[in-house]
Chain A
């Protein structure tokens, strides 16, 4: 459903005539256009339609004899509203007196005290006196609603916000209200802990102190802290956050509502993984390997030794760049590797390079969909991605689109998706066969025979036809949300071509409200690519003078001895790269490994010679690029912990020691250089980016994006998916919780994934596996243990394992076929 067109109506609020869009709720319109605050508790536009549970927002509307709830009355033309008459005042005082009947007034010990809407409303609109002398209701308190959230039911004013959030926004259906009347209380249905990927949002939603964050419990009062706005770089969704800082420590992360990015929500990883900034495991001083063990050394020694080792290796240096790298660090690293060391072996994409032409075509500004498009499009096709794991906040956006805007959600993935039940149609294909599926879908849309392609993808031909029919009927505005793994396998170029053909078939190029939206594997993957942190591209996706080795080839060259040194910038090949066997060999053979890391992940712990402490995202400054081309700014929110230094400065210093000074004195100088050198960023500045960022694809300068070949491309027939004969196909996925930050955060540690083996009920029955038992997955002599998890809509013949976890990772298995048996 396309974006609603705004029709203005005029109404009178407290004697002033104002214009507001028709259909807007009175409480919103009064605040936004009339500068009149109507107090509310239960209403928040982002939770969805109002329920009018608290009656705080009563106002007088002329022509209606009784008072009306301002949150549930839509503005109409000629409406006359009074919010400060004696009747309204009496009603507000009465409602507040009623709400406060059971409220314990333990504000001094309540974490919400000082930022509490109930306090504010009682102060602003309350009568100040209560006639209620009877005992208040009592509950046991505080109780743990989950390991992350504490619930105090005495403070609850029964506004339904959390329950509505759970049922209508996150759609996890876990929170309910039990009992009736004065006995009502919020709980999970059967009393189990409320564990969900987005559970933390209810803490921010609660208008009283009934739901509080346990990690933040009693840490600070609102006047003790300062809010520092920045961007969360823990996943590609790049939600806008605000750090609550006290004594140079991040104590809490709050959402910073940005309709174009996160819609005001955060996932639990973004909300609670800040704890990893202040843990002892974090590396906060330079380490050097001495006698087989990493020991702390001085910065001077570490930098000198690193420069010496790098100048020794010279052009035989490779570099892997992780997704958390900012644009500035990316630019200075390319300078270090290309100019100072004379090597071209630098890559920020796991799994191998994509042809530059295809990369340009996929990133073309006219083909980019924005995040809000997901909510308003006619149809959204998820192609080989799982939003809740890859970019969690998009999951909520898609649910909102389906629920409130009638978006037709179509899913094509190998692994069952959390969104399956909201989808108009979902199709499964064999792991790694996204390319063949995209080709089949493209063929079906074009009316060409697609059955053989569908078979090659390990998919059902009827599914492909059904998806094609749905896509054709849906309407013009179609967004394809695709995961980077579609273009990461051995047939990555074909995957990109198939995707571009599909977009061409749907006519997405240049279409408003539709297009492609990629979920890359790393947070700032898009920015790094556009800066030419690739073996085959220069800055601004220009042609590289010399094509270097991609990540796969760097691994092979290290193993073969053609490269001797490796720089790991926020990257751990044993976690990020598809084959850990290759990288074990490569790292074992490398004579120099210089890592910039915050945690001792496997490759760093075992193989790094020098480890420089990485800044956390709250300490960084710089810019990152959102997958929908929004350039966003990171601001330093706290002092760098321990001995940590600015990484951009370190990279600049290393290059200078190697005889090629990039002359970068401040980080903003590097940002300015980026905006100057990348043609399609031209004219941007840090001031322009401000707190909300700018989509470069919407600016004039986007016209200077390098040209790309246009679809349709002719496709190679894909090889047939391996057929499961007794064995099972191996698919892998990276869980939202698989990150060192989650593992290091005390509050989130219980979520850090252990290997689980997702298997279909049919396969489980055939192999005699029951839910929750330990199974062994083996291939070519390698084996991995994990807990069996039977998923109802998992495809038969395929088993899914997690990658990117330190132990028992799917990357240990070669595949593509594995044997699963009870351990």
Chain B
């Protein structure tokens, strides 16, 4: 079908061509005053600024911060068996796992294998939490820590020891109903 230019004509509605009169005065000052009303109205509301880093906003329980690896509380063995499912699930490809075999003399985890190397490159991580979902042993969870900036990229590669350790500075957790 041939293109009909008539259909594409856009009608432009313009304002009055000439300013002046009471309408003109209102347009000049009235709208400005209406805006200033909002501005001055906010003065009554008080200050909402958080004095970060002295003050922190508490996070929700399901907040996805820096990962943590876990141990069994009773035996102290690592929960992670080095199955690499987190690495498979990771869309940012930031997890590297190299497994090794437990021996009776050197038992690290509860299963046959353990993670000899477990590294997360947090400069790449997008904190999607797929690793936590993929983990068949609840060995990795997303913690609450979000203060991860560093001066050096390579310092953002977290090793197994760093992930197993309790985070030094804990982020406040939002209480029920808060």
**Interchain CB contact under 8 A, B111 and A108:** yes
- Residue A123 lies at the interface, judged by CB distance under 8 Å to chain B: no
Counting CB contacts under 8 A, is B87 at the interface?
yes
Query: How does the 8 Å CB contact mask read for A507-529 relative to B, with 1 for contact and 0 for none?
Result: 00000000000000000000000
| Complex interface: chain A residues within 8 A of B81 (CB) | 108-109
- In whole Å, how far is A340's beta carbon from the nearest beta carbon of chain B? 47
Residues of chain B at interface, number, CB under 8 A: 17
Whether, in the assembled complex, B137 has its beta carbon less than 8 Å from a beta carbon of chain A, the answer is: yes
Q: Mark A213-229, 1 if CB is under 8 A from B, else 0.
A: 00001111101100000
Which of A109, A219, A220 makes the CB contact (< 8 A) with B112? A109
Q: How far is the CA of A335 from the CA of B99 in the complex (A)?
A: 48
Which residue of chain B has the shortest Cβ distance to A141 in the bound complex?
B112
Instruction: Name the distance in Å between B89's Cβ and chain A's nearest Cβ.
Output: 10
B167 within 8 A of A: no
Contact yes or no, A109 B113, CB < 8 A: yes
- Whether a CB of chain B sits under 8 angstroms from the CB of A142 is yes
Q: Is the interface of A mostly helix, strand, loop or mixed?
A: loop
A142 touches B112 (CB 8 A): yes
Q: Is residue A113 within 8 Å, beta carbon to beta carbon, of the partner chain?
A: yes
Q: For the complex, is B82 an interface residue (Cβ under 8 Å from A)?
A: yes
Q: Is the CB of A218 within 8 A of B113?
A: yes
Q: Does A114 contact B (CB under 8 A)?
A: yes
Given A108-B137, A109-B113, check contact A218 B88 (CB 8 Å). Answer: no
Provide the residues of chain A in CB contact with B136, threshold 8 Å.
107-108
Neighbouring B residues of A219 by C-beta, 8 Å: 99
Query: Are the CB atoms of A108 and B85 closer together than 8 Å?
Result: yes
> Smallest Cβ distance from B112 to chain A, in angstroms?
5
Contact residue among B82, B88, B101, B137 (Cβ-Cβ distance under 8 Å from A223): B88
CB distance from B103 to the nearest CB of A (A): 12
Interface string of A96-138 (1 = CB under 8 A from B): 0000000000111100011000000000000000000000000
Distance A218 CA – B100 CA, assembled complex (angstroms): 6
Any A CB within 8 A of the CB of B68: no
Query: For the complex, what is the distance from the CA of A264 to the CA of B112, rounded to whole Å?
Result: 31
A-facing mask of B22-43, CB < 8 A → 1, else 0? 0000000000000000000000
Give CA–CA (A217, B103) in the complex, Å: 13
CB contacts (< 8 Å) of A108 on chain B: these are: 81, 83, 85, 111, 136-137
* Known contacts A218-B100, A218-B101, A218-B113: A109-B83 contact under CB 8 Å: yes
Which B125-178 residues sit within 8 Å CB-CB of chain A?
136-137
Chain B residues within an 8 Å CB radius of A142 = 112
A669 to chain B, nearest CB (A): 36
Q: Which of these, A109, A114, A220, contacts B111 with CB under 8 Å?
A: A109
A224 near B87: Cβ-Cβ < 8 Å: yes
Q: Is the CB of B99 within 8 A of A218?
A: yes
Q: 1/0 per residue A387-404: CB within 8 Å of B? A: 000000000000000000
Nearest B residue to A105, CB-CB: B136
Between A217, A218, A221, the greatest number of chain B beta carbons within 10 A of the residue's beta carbon is seen for: A218
Which of B82, B84, B100 has the largest number of chain A CB atoms within 10 A?
B84
Q: Across the two chains, which residue of chain A brings its CB closest to B137?
A: A108
Nearest Cβ on chain A to B102's Cβ, whole angstroms: 10
Q: Which residues of A contact B113 (CB under 8 A)?
A: 109, 218
Chain B residues near A106 (CB-CB < 8 A): 111-112
Q: In the bound complex, do residue A218 and residue B87 qualify as a contact, i.e. CB atoms below 8 Å apart?
A: no
For window 82-135 of chain B, which residues contact chain A by CB distance below 8 Å? Answer: 82-85, 87-88, 97-101, 111-113
Q: Which residues of chain B come closer than 8 Å to A218, judged between CB atoms?
A: 82, 99-101, 112-113
Q: Are B112 and A221 in touch, CB under 8 angstroms?
A: no
A223 touches B84 (CB 8 A): yes
- A608 CB to closest chain B CB (Å) equals 37
Q: Which of B83, B85, B88 has the most CB of A within 10 A?
A: B83
Residue among A108, A219, A223 facing the most chain B CB atoms (10 A cut-off): A108
**A155-192 CB contacts (< 8 Å) to partner B:** none
CA A106 to CA B112, docked complex, whole Å: 10
A68 to B27, CA, bound (A): 87
From B83, B100, B101, B137, contact of A221 by CB (8 A): B83
Q: How far is the CB of A122 from chain B (nearest CB, A)?
A: 15
Q: How far is the CB of A176 from chain B (nearest CB, A)?
A: 26
Q: How long is the Cα–Cα vector from A106 to B87 in the complex, in angstroms?
A: 18
Chain B residues 21 to 74 lying within 8 A of chain A, measured CB to CB, are none
A108 to B136, CA, bound (A): 7
Within the complex, the shortest CB–CB distance from B111 to chain A, in Å, comes to: 5
- Establish whether residues B88 and A221, one from each chain, have CB atoms under 8 Å apart when the complex forms: yes
A306–B42 Cα distance when bound, in Å, is 85
CB of B76 to closest CB in A, whole Å: 19
Name A216-245 residues within 8 Å CB distance of B. 217-221, 223-224
Which residues of chain B are near A220, meaning CB under 8 Å? 84, 98-99
Residues of chain A within 8 A of B85, CB atoms compared:
108
Q: A218-B112, A219-B99 are in contact. List 17 more A-B contacts (CB 8 A).
A: A106-B111, A108-B81, A109-B113, A113-B83, A114-B88, A142-B112, A217-B101, A218-B82, A218-B100, A220-B98, A220-B99, A221-B83, A221-B88, A223-B87, A224-B84, A224-B87, A224-B97
19 A–B contacts from the bound complex (CB under 8 Å): A107-B136, A108-B83, A108-B85, A108-B136, A108-B137, A109-B112, A114-B88, A217-B101, A218-B100, A218-B113, A220-B84, A220-B98, A220-B99, A221-B83, A221-B88, A223-B88, A224-B84, A224-B87, A224-B97
* Residues of chain A whose beta carbon lies under 8 Å from any beta carbon of chain B: 106-109, 113-114, 142, 217-221, 223-224
Q: Which 4 A-B pairs have the closest CB atoms?
A: A108-B83, A221-B84, A218-B99, A218-B113
